[in-house]
Structure 1
Amino acid sequence: MSDRQVIATELLKGQGLGNQLFCYVTTRCLSLQNHCEFAILNREILANNIHSNKGMYFMDIDCGLDMKTEEFSEIYQEKEDRIYLGNSMHDIEHGCYISGADEKLLNLNQSILVYGNMQDEAYFGQYKEEIKQWLKVKPEFDNYEYSRDNLCIINIRGGEYTSNPELFLRRKYWLDAMKVMRQKRSDMEFMVITDDLSAARRILPEVPAYHFDLAGDYTVIKNAKYLILSNSTFAFFPAYTSETVQYIIAPKYWARHNVSDGYWASEQNIYDEFIYMDRKGKLFTAAECREELTAYKQSSHRYQKIGIKLSGIRLLTAKCHAKYLICGDLFVRALRSVKRRISSN
């Protein structure tokens, strides 16, 4: 163990690149704030995950001190607030994650190994210029081919999202956001960057969709002039560190855009740089979203039941609602498939 204070985190199997980068960036920022060393444990799996198995080949990432978990006597798990809802079996059994910033993370005074979501702007917002340097793309991988004044990049997250109707963004969100972008420029064109070409072509068949390698997808998003984002962490840091982007639309309520009546999943995903769109196509600044959420917390019964699992009639009702959402989603998919077949004949 270093004689100096060390703040560390461990990258975990199953994390996507976006989640890994949040843990990395927040850990470095907390160490900077505390004038101490940092360490990224299990660093060999950085960018070796669901997105790619080539590692972080397009950046030079400083992972700090080379340390092991057993060198830390203090371990801290970021707080987790969850509400149990009938959105899905996940939200019924595990709860919907709604946490905001954990103040204890902002006041670390000893060497410690930290685990958690670590996605709140309070953790890293004051170090944006440093983050741009930490996540600087190597020149040979920095793709500006699609950085045009009249081109908006749409980032659609597919994969496991597509089987979760509470999570996979509906076609209306994309169409409403595209309408706003056309108001910005009447000659606006669109292009999709996605991890799932099949899903993207089902939800937005009229927009050309592409899936390049990891560096390609990342840098096309980073160098865009206009962005319409999904509720996925992958696009956050390319958007956040962009030197070109002029306007960013993201889904209000983030991971529960489709079903929320006011809660965020999670509160950590309200960022000053984004404009948020609700299900009616109305736009909100981050400040407006935070103000609304504060009022919601005071009036909503949901926040009075944080951490309380469903039981009895509430559990039965929740399961019925989850099945209803799945059936509704399957019906919409079937209807869309029929329409595509009719139009192709």
Structure 2
Amino acid sequence: MIKIRLKGRLGNQLFIYAFARCLAEKYEDHVVIYDRKDEEDSIWHSHLDGYKLHTSVGFSSDKKKFMQMDLYQKLLFVFDRFCIKALNPVQKKRFQEWKLKYYTQHGLLLCMDGVFNLPDRIPKSLYCDGYFQSAELFDCIRDKLLLELQPKEEHRQTEKDFIGQIESTNSVCLTIRLGDYINNTTHQVCTKKYYLDAMQKMRELHPDCIFFAFSDEVEKLKTILGDDGSIIYDSGTSKDYMSLDIMSKCKHFIISNSSFSWWAQYLSDNKDKVVIAPSKWYADAVPCDIMQDDWILLDC
């Protein structure tokens, strides 16, 4: 059995599900995700319940049973956490190459950042932990993911009307993460200038484009970009997975360094989409393979 621990908010959880789904497909095995529903955490929760997920991926809320490891695995897990904090980026890359082979032989696949090649064979029991933030890890099943990552419920009438506006125009999804990114030394990358430059670039490519703005703090966003009618703002009242589905209906995308923002463009079925993204994903030197080759990258 393959086991993976869920972490992060919706965007990160979708990366973990996509990787789990790829593992199930590659190794023809059942994958179980620990959804942490037995943990008393008022801030964190599973966001995946609203999707039509494949039966090859199941869920468990039994932490005690799920997190069982032998002594050597526990030692490797602690050693890995120490190395992540102690090594510099160059050392981390070398360490990553070594550990993926060695750890996997002992039933662990630990990867916080960066892309890697899956081994041809894995042990009968494998515990995975990481964010798996690269399309290269699951692009081989993208068509299946586009079908499975559809909301179970129908959109409300107000949401359907908003989707109608998006689909009837040359729409651009403009996603701006505020909230916990403000003054964050790792994640605060995108400035107001980045978004204005990205909007100008999109206007050059598509003069008739209309911007649809989404944010975790819509009212604050209006004070930043203005409310003169040139931008159509989302209401901010939709459930996160419903909002993501609405965003994916746009024809083009200006994204922030947010996994939620990333999934909006990935779930789009527009083959001619233009995606503008920041030139770096983190403010510090964290290994990252989340960018895609066909994006337009702007300095930030």
| Same fold, TM-score > 0.5, yes or no | yes
Preserved CA contact (<8 Å) 1:170 1:203: no
Residues 108 and 28 (structure 1), Cα distance of their counterparts in 2 relative to 1, 3 Å cut: farther
1:154 aligned onto 2:174: yes
Instruction: Name the residue aligned to 1:181.
Output: 202
Which segment drifts farther, 166-175 or 268-277? 268-277
State the 1:242 CA deviation: 1.3
Preserved CA contact (<8 Å) 2:146 2:267: yes
1:8 to 3, 6, 19: 3
Q: Match for 1:102: what amino acid? A: F
Instruction: Name the residue aligned to 1:59.
Output: 51
> Structure 2 regions of 5+ residues with no counterpart?
90-110
Residues 129 and 106 (structure 1), Cα distance of their counterparts in 2 relative to 1, 3 Å cut: farther
Cα RMSD over matched residues? 3.3
State the 1:107 CA deviation: 4.8
State the 1:139 CA deviation: 6.5
Instruction: Name the residue aligned to 2:20.
Output: 27
Matched residue SS, 2:182: helix
Instruction: Name the residue aligned to 1:243.
Output: 269
Preserved CA contact (<8 Å) 1:156 1:193: yes
Residues 148 and 57 (structure 1), Cα distance of their counterparts in 2 relative to 1, 3 Å cut: farther
Q: Match for 1:174: what amino acid? A: Y
Q: Match for 1:125: what amino acid? A: D
Q: In structure 1, what is the Cα distance between the partners aligned to 2:42 and 2:243?
A: 15
| TM-score of the superposed pair, with normalisation by structure 2 | 0.71
Residues 49 and 134 (structure 1), Cα distance of their counterparts in 2 relative to 1, 3 Å cut: farther
Q: In structure 2, what is the Cα distance between the partners aligned to 1:49 and 1:173?
A: 34
Instruction: Name the residue aligned to 2:279.
Output: 252
Residues 116 and 56 (structure 1), Cα distance of their counterparts in 2 relative to 1, 3 Å cut: closer
Q: Describe the superposition over 1:238-285 as per-residue Cα deviations: whole angstroms up to 9, x where unpaired.
A: 3212113611111111123xxx7xx5x442212235332223xxxxxx
Q: How many residues end up aligned between the 2 structures?
A: 250
1:132 aligned onto 2:124: no
2:290 to 250, 266, 269: 269
- Equivalent runs, 1:1-345 vs 2, <5 Å: 6-12=1-7, 15-42=8-35, 44=37, 55-56=47-48, 58-62=50-54, 64-67=57-60, 68-70=65-67, 80=84, 83=88, 99-103=113-117, 105-107=118-120, 109-110=122-123, 111-138=125-152, 140-141=154-155, 143=160, 144-145=163-164, 146-164=166-184, 167-168=187-188, 169-206=190-227, 207-210=231-234, 211-213=236-238, 214-244=240-270, 246-256=273-283, 265-279=286-300
Instruction: Name the residue aligned to 1:307.
Output: none
Q: In structure 2, what is the Cα distance between the partners aligned to 1:57 and 1:38?
A: 16
Preserved CA contact (<8 Å) 1:11 1:43: yes
State the 1:101 CA deviation: 1.5
State the 1:28 CA deviation: 1.6
Matched residue SS, 2:141: helix
Q: In structure 2, what is the Cα distance between the partners aligned to 1:16 and 1:274?
A: 24
Q: In structure 2, what is the Cα distance between the partners aligned to 1:17 and 1:124?
A: 17
Q: In structure 1, what is the Cα distance between the partners aligned to 2:221 and 2:255?
A: 13
Preserved CA contact (<8 Å) 1:72 1:112: no
Q: In structure 1, what is the Cα distance between the partners aligned to 2:58 and 2:187?
A: 37
State the 1:189 CA deviation: 2.0
Which segment drifts farther, 34-43 or 141-150? 141-150
Q: Match for 2:200: what amino acid? A: K
Q: Identity rate of aligned residues, in percent?
A: 24
Residues 172 and 44 (structure 1), Cα distance of their counterparts in 2 relative to 1, 3 Å cut: same
Preserved CA contact (<8 Å) 1:182 1:188: yes
Residues 107 and 202 (structure 1), Cα distance of their counterparts in 2 relative to 1, 3 Å cut: farther
State the 1:43 CA deviation: 6.0
Residues 66 and 128 (structure 1), Cα distance of their counterparts in 2 relative to 1, 3 Å cut: closer
Q: In structure 2, what is the Cα distance between the partners aligned to 1:254 and 1:66?
A: 30
Residues 108 and 254 (structure 1), Cα distance of their counterparts in 2 relative to 1, 3 Å cut: farther
Residues 50 and 194 (structure 1), Cα distance of their counterparts in 2 relative to 1, 3 Å cut: farther
Q: In structure 1, what is the Cα distance between the partners aligned to 2:278 and 2:30?
A: 36
Q: Match for 2:134: what amino acid? A: D
